[in-house]
């Protein structure tokens, strides 16, 4: 007896694979089990019982017909029984061994092969059907994809995020309808009479039953949120991998075609040979020398049962074949290599769910045959909107209000600032910090400000650094008069949000980004006409000229900063219209001379021409027209000399000439009597003119990183000097007259060739040890009483 469990391995699959088995595959599986039982039953009978029983024929050889058992066929029952009684009276003189020999010999030679091997054929064909059905679950090229898909599908189906996402969408979709039904029910209830309080409550609660999931299920903890986030990544990678080919679709078609061909072959030969299963079999064997007989009449003991099993088997095969034909029809009558989520998009409201193709589409079609709910829940993890909602939820879990408050700091303006960098999104918890005055967002992609932004009632400054942001119109109204400072940094200036140029209460606008090559020459910037209160405009780009829209704010703009990153600024005529401009920065604009348009700015107080290519500043004479100019920064250029008419700048208070190529200074510089700060460090000066001693208002003098070998004694006539930087020169001694600088609080002497320090340093009442930058050995060489004075608190 062969146990049926021995064949289990041919059909055994993981239970989860059932979702990829449509109804026809399930029916075919049951049919194969039935056919297998027929085969196993037939094989069991074949093995355990006698196959054939033979008796010798007593007819004479010359009278023997071609069918020696013809006389036993059921033509007449009486004749048949009479004939049998007559033969049974004869003695055959054969022993048991001879009968066994004849039975075996006739079974092998006389019985038709179909009658002999029918049960084995049934088992073999059924096993082939089983292999064909489950082959794609076992083949390495397909089984790995199927297992991966089933694993992800199960996680998507059971994920709490799926339930939450569908519940939220369902609530949004049915909100209007629910309200309508509730109103209608209330009116209907109030018609006959006034409803009781309990009835009213029931009416209001009843429509909420359309939400299939209880509210408690929609709550996600941090761990579940992280798992859902990882699941989104898995789905993305799996989709890219599976959509590349169609091996699953091709393999399923091939095994179905093979089953159809197998069905037709089995049906044809079974219908042809089923009649060969006969109850009586004539046997002629040359065994007369052994047994004395050459003709035998044999009885196939299981012929009747096998014939019935054969007809049952053929019936099952026909049904099985019809399922295979239907499968082929299903495979070819519709495009199974494309799958549309249109119905899911309409039902859930997630309009960004993409359609899929190839093997991914085919597996989803199979899933729909099992349960379309799987596709619907799986689609949640294909939606970018759903993913963004999940990221937002995870962000809110991670960035609690308490954690955000720990990041609050005072910025340079003294405002309470919250800075967030490189986050996957903007946490909603940010808007619970109503005390925030400045919000700095850096490298945060696709920001959409929620209505909660209106809770930041103290917000005055907003920085968007590589963080594109969308602002609903209602919030634009909220920020329009409230926001004072905004900073936007992006790859190209055309990425600057348009709502920025509608903030009419804005006082400072800082933009950083490049003009596209085709727009760099025109330097077109959005209109600034709405910015009626703009006072500061900073633009860091690659413009070839001053943007024309700058003139839109000419009547109230007080500070303009253009940083060109080395690109040459050619046209500056627009500057002439900035009548009230007080501060102008033209940094790294490739200027070789001071632009003449600057001399028309009568209200100009500060000018910065840092990092240009200035070699000559002969035009400095024209600065006398800028009567309010107090600060002039010409640092980080290639200036080789200062012209003598620098003396005309008597109102100048700060002059920066560091990082140039100066070797001498004109004596007329001492006539700039208003100078309070003079920075000529990082040059090649070897000496200083004595006329510098005339700068009686000088408080800060920077001479570091030059080649000075000595200082004129007249320099120490500058009694108001507080900072004197002499580091990294070639000084061999420091004049004792340094003691006359009573106000001196900072003195740098490092990097020189000094052998000692004058003890007159003790007379500098404002100088302390912390303000004296010198080598330790030189400091230790000072008298003890001098060191004590310097170390006094």
Most confident stretch, 173-187, 302-316, 340-354: 302-316
Per-residue pLDDT tens over the stretch 401-438: 999 999 999 998 899 999 999 988 889 999 999 999 99
Measured distance CA(297)–CA(339) in Å, rounded: 66
pLDDT of residue 50 exceeding 80, the answer is no
Per-residue pLDDT tens over the stretch 111-144: 888 888 888 899 999 998 888 888 888 888 888 8
pLDDT recorded at residue 168: 66
Q: What is the mean pLDDT of residues 107-111?
A: 81
Contact assessment for residue 468 and residue 441, using Cβ atoms and an 8 Å cutoff: no
Measured distance CA(622)–CA(474) in Å, rounded: 51
CA nearest to 721, candidates 702, 736, 735, 749: 702
Contact assessment for residue 752 and residue 773, using Cβ atoms and an 8 Å cutoff: no
pLDDT recorded at residue 458: 93
Contact assessment for residue 589 and residue 608, using Cβ atoms and an 8 Å cutoff: no
Q: Which residues pair with 299 in a beta bridge?
A: 53, 280
Hey, what domains does the chain have and what are their CATH numbers?
Answer: 4-58+94-140+250-338 (1.20.1440), 502-613 (3.80.10.10), 619-792 (3.80.10.10)
Q: Which residues pair with 584 in a beta bridge?
A: 560, 607
Lowest mean pLDDT among 182-196, 729-743, 755-769: 182-196
pLDDT of residue 203 exceeding 50, the answer is no
Contact assessment for residue 762 and residue 784, using Cβ atoms and an 8 Å cutoff: no
pLDDT recorded at residue 170: 55
Q: Name the helix (H) or strand (E) containing 631.
A: strand 631-633
Rounded to the nearest integer, the mean pLDDT of the chain is 83
CA nearest to 115, candidates 352, 397, 305, 366: 305
Measured distance CA(52)–CA(277) in Å, rounded: 12
CA nearest to 528, candidates 559, 506, 558: 506
Lowest mean pLDDT among 10-14, 121-125, 220-224: 10-14
Return the number of other C-beta atoms located less than 10 Å from residue 12's C-beta: 11
pLDDT-derived band at 76 (thresholds 50, 70, 90) equals very low
Lowest mean pLDDT among 360-369, 517-526, 617-626, 701-710: 517-526
Percentage of the chain exceeding pLDDT 90: 39
Sign of the four-CA dihedral 39, 45, 50, 55: negative
Beta carbons within 8 Å of 198's beta carbon, 6+ residues apart: none
Higher pLDDT, 371 or 214: 371
| Burial state string for 779-790 with b = 16 or more CB within 10 A and e = fewer than 16 | bebbeeebbebb
Question: Helices 140-158 and 113-138 sit at what angle, rounded to 10 degrees?
Answer: 60
Three-class secondary structure of residue 462 per DSSP: strand
> Could you write out the DSSP letters of every residue in 9-45?
HHH---GGGGGG--HHHHHHHHHHHHHHHHHHHHHHH
Per-residue pLDDT tens over the stretch 232-273: 888 888 888 888 888 888 899 999 999 999 999 999 988 888
The DSSP bridge pattern shows strands 416-421 and 409-410 to be antiparallel
Q: Name the helix (H) or strand (E) containing 666.
A: none
Beta carbons within 8 Å of 62's beta carbon, 6+ residues apart: none
- For residue 612, give the DSSP letter: S
pLDDT-derived band at 21 (thresholds 50, 70, 90) equals confident
Question: Helices 358-370 and 222-242 sit at what angle, rounded to 10 degrees?
Answer: 120
The count of residues in the chain is 793
Exposed, middle or buried by CB within 10 Å (0-12, 13-18, 19+), for 333? Answer: exposed
- For residue 755, give the DSSP letter: S
Lowest mean pLDDT among 173-177, 182-186, 537-541: 182-186
Contact assessment for residue 642 and residue 657, using Cβ atoms and an 8 Å cutoff: yes
Measured distance CA(339)–CA(437) in Å, rounded: 50
Three-class secondary structure of residue 423 per DSSP: coil
pLDDT recorded at residue 521: 67
Measured distance CA(559)–CA(583) in Å, rounded: 5
């Amino acid at each position: 007896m062969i146990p049926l469990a021995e064949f289990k391995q041919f059909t055994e699959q993981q239970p989860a694979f059932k979702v990829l088995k449509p109804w026809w595959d399930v029916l075919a599986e049951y049919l194969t089990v039935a056919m297998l039982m027929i085969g196993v039953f037939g094989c069991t009978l074949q093995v355990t019982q006698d196959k054939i029983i033979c008796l010798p024929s007593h007819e004479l050889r010359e009278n023997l017909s071609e069918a020696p058992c013809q006389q036993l066929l059921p033509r007449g029952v009486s004749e048949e029984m009479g004939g049998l009684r007559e033969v049974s009276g004869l003695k055959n003189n054969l022993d048991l061994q001879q009968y066994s020999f004849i039975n075996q010999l006739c079974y092998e030679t006389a019985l038709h092969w179909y009658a002999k091997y029918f049960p084995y054929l049934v088992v073999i064909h059924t096993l082939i059907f089983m292999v064909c059905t489950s082959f794609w679950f076992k083949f390495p090229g397909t089984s790995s994809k199927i297992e991966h898909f089933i694993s992800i599908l199960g996680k998507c189906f059971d994920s709490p995020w799926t339930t939450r996402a569908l519940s939220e969408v369902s609530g949004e979709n049915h909100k209007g309808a629910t309200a309508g039904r509730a109103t209608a029910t209330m009116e209907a209830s109030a018609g006959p009479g006034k409803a009781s309080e309990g009835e009213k409550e029931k009416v209001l609660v009843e429509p909420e039953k359309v939400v299939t999931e209880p509210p408690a299920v929609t709550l996600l903890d941090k761990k579940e949120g992280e798992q859902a986030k990882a699941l989104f990544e898995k789905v993305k990678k799996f989709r890219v991998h599976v959509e590349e080919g169609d091996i699953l679709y091709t393999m399923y078609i091939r095994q179905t075609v093979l089953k159809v061909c197998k069905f037709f072959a089995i049906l044809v030969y079974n219908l042809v040979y089923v009649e060969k299963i006969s109850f009586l079999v004539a046997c002629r064997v040359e065994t007369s020398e052994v047994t004395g007989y050459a003709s035998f009449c044999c009885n196939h003991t299981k012929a009747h049962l096998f014939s019935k099993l054969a007809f049952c088997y053929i019936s099952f095969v026909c049904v099985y074949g019809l399922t295979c034909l239907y499968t082929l029809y299903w495979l070819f009558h519709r495009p199974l290599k494309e799958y549309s989520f249109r119905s899911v998009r309409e039902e859930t409201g997630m309009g960004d769910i993409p359609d899929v193709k190839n093997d991914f589409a085919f597996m989803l079609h199979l899933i729909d045959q099992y349960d379309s709910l799987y596709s619907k829940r799986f689609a949640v993890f294909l939606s970018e909107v759903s993913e963004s909602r999940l990221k937002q939820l995870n962000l809110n879990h991670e960035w609690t209000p308490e954690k955000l408050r720990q990041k609050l700091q005072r910025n340079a303006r003294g405002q309470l600032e919250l800075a967030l960098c490189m986050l996957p999104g903007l946490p909603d918890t940010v808007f619970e910090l109503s005390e925030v005055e400045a919000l700095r967002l850096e490298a945060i992609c696709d920001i959409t400000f929620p209505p909660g932004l209106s809770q930041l009632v103290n917000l005055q400054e907003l920085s968007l650094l590589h963080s594109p942001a969308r602002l609903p119109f209602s919030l634009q109204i909220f920020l329009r008069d409230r926001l004072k400072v905004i900073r936007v940094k992006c790859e190209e200036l055309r990425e600057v949000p348009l709502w920025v140029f509608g903030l009419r209460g804005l006082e400072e606008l800082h933009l950083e980004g490049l003009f596209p090559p085709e727009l760099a020459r025109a330097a077109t910037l959005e209109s600034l006409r709405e910015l009626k209160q703009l006072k500061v405009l900073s633009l860091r780009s690659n413009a070839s000229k001053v943007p024309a829209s700058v003139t839109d704010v000419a009547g109230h703009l007080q500070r303009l900063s253009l940083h060109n990153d080395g690109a040459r600024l050619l046209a500056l005529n627009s500057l002439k219209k900035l009548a009230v401009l007080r501060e102008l920065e033209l940094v790294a604009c490739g200027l070789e001379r001071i632009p003449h348009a600057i001399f028309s700015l009568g209200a100009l107080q500060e000018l910065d021409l840092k990092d240009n290519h200035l070699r000559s500043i002969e035009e400095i004479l024209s600065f006398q027209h800028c009567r309010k100019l107090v600060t002039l920064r010409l640092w980080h250029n290639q200036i080789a000399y200062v012209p003598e008419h620098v003396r005309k700048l008597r109102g100048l208070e700060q002059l920066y000439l560091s990082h140039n190529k100066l070797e001498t200074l004109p004596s007329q510089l001492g006539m700039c009597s208003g100078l309070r700060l003079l920075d000529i460090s990082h040059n090649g000066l070897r000496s200083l003119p004595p006329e510098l001693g005339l700068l009686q208002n000088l408080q800060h003098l920077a001479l570091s990183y030059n080649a000075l070998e000595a200082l004129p004694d007249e320099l120490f006539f500058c009694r108001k000097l507080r900072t004197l930087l002499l580091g990294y020169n070639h000084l061999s001694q420091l004049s004792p007259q340094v003691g006359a600088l009573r106000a001196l609080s900072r003195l740098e002497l490092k990097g020189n060739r000094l052998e000692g320090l004058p003890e007159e340093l003790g007379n500098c009442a404002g100088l302390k040890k912390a303000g004296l930058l010198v080598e330790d050995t030189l400091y230790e060489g000072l008298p003890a009483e001098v060191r004590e004075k310097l170390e006094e608190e």
